Amino acid sequence: MTGCEIPKQDLNFLGRLAGTPSTINSPDTYQLFQYFLNTFIPPLIRPGAHQGYFNHYYMVSMGLQTPPLMDIYIACAALQLAHKHADLLPKALQYYSSAVIQTRRMIAEGELRGTEDWPIVMTIFLCLFERWQPGPSKEIIHLRGAAQLLALRGAKLNAQQLITPFNRLYAESVLYNTMVSTLLSDDIPSHDQVWSQISTYFTASPFPDTTWEANSPIIVVGPDLFRLILTISCFARCEKLTGDQLAQIHQIGEDLQTWLPAKEELKSQQFWDQDTGHQWATLYAISADILCFKMLHPSQNDTHGTVQRRVQQGLEILQRAGPGRFQSHIVCLPILVLGCATVAEADFKFLLANLDDTWQKSYLGDTRRAADVLKAVWARRIQSCDSLGFGSDVFVQKRYITYIRKRTSPPTFTSQQSNYEAQFSEM
């Protein structure tokens, strides 16, 4: 590695473990592992979550004992650092490929039952690798695998074994990452199937003596809002909506009222004194309401009062929050929807600058994909001399913006190899 600044706060972590793990086989690997532990991992857990979620000892110990899992950890670290140190990109792809190939071999040779902890961790970090790279992403295939593994696990564990911090963390990871990935994916998940596979993990709290907010490592307000947004996102990617789907969208619009801000709520100090999770959940609800309106009223353009009222509410939250209030991986989806719906160039530039700031802080590929779509929407408006007729309908009329940027896709599970549940259940 060339000149990377590696955080020093936990360099003695490996010293607390007996022996030298075979998965740490060089000084470079050691440095990348420390970067993963100290820089890549911490922002993934929501501030305000129970301290038990910030103890990564078990997750790291699994990686130290499981070569493919350590490989995907190292791949994620190398990928994030590669945006400053280009020589690390081949190494990131090499580690990603190694993780996939080793896991595929272990499945083929019957070495895994599918109920072990580490394959679930593995699929989530395969997903995160895809989210972090800036080209067309294939994270949904890994999220589908993680949901299948959680379903298989749930069928073999009793109620007490199900409700653990580990299971809640990865169930929330599946729900949240599937929700934020669907709008920009051509691989559309089944929202009902995803929920049926993970819902059992939300029936009780792993830390029963603390608040719901503390029990939630990622989504804070409970799963219902994110189920609604996942459903809306899936419907937005449909070629044509059925009558039943339109009825569901209408009901979702009604259900969203629970999370949408009242007229003067955003100006109250009480709103800003809440856990930041409530604030960004409101931002997500606003974005979902815009999509609902566009799907129910496709003939209305973005100047409609309902759309612009929500856009201004979303902008107010982002402007008042300022840079750094929300975790980098949170803001991309709301900014994408707001940016496609805004009709003011100044607001568009503000949202694009917000994405650029997020990119500079995290090198999260989602920010680049969202920025590409927003730039394409705005360019088309300028080229057609129509500032109003092409915006948020980029989602609801299937006019999907293809990415100009090309990349060499890293190897991943093919659709034939992605049925994790079927392969594990036969063993």
Structural contact between residues 318 and 335, judged by C-beta atoms closer than 8 angstroms: yes
pLDDT value for 8? 40
pLDDT value for 381? 76
Count other Cβ atoms within 10 Å, centred on residue 213: 18
pLDDT value for 216? 94
pLDDT value for 76? 97
**What is the pTM assigned to this prediction?**
0.87
Structural contact between residues 361 and 367, judged by C-beta atoms closer than 8 angstroms: no
Burial of 361 (0-12, 13-18, 19+ CB in 10 A): middle
Closest CA to 138 of 81, 189, 200: 189
Closest CA to 291 of 261, 324, 349, 248: 248
pLDDT value for 415? 33
Burial of 218 (0-12, 13-18, 19+ CB in 10 A): buried
Positions in the chain short of pLDDT 70: 1-23, 324, 328, 384-427
Q: How many residues does the chain have?
A: 427
One DSSP character per residue, 237-254 reads: T-SS--HHHHHHHHHHHH
pLDDT value for 147? 96
Q: How many helices (H) and strands (E) does the chain have?
A: 20, 0
Average pLDDT of the chain, as a whole number: 83
Condensed to tens digits (0 to 9), the pLDDT of residues 229-249 reads: 999 999 988 878 899 999 999
Q: Is 2 left (phi over 0), alpha (psi -120 to 50) or beta?
A: beta
Closest CA to 185 of 378, 295, 336: 336
Collapse the DSSP code of 208 into the 3-class scheme (helix H, G, I; strand E, B; otherwise coil) and give the result. coil
Residue with the two structure tokens 């067309």: 136
Condensed to tens digits (0 to 9), the pLDDT of residues 332-384 reads: 999 999 999 998 999 999 999 999 998 988 899 999 999 998 998 888 877 76
pLDDT value for 292? 95
Terminal-residue alpha carbon distance, the chain: 41
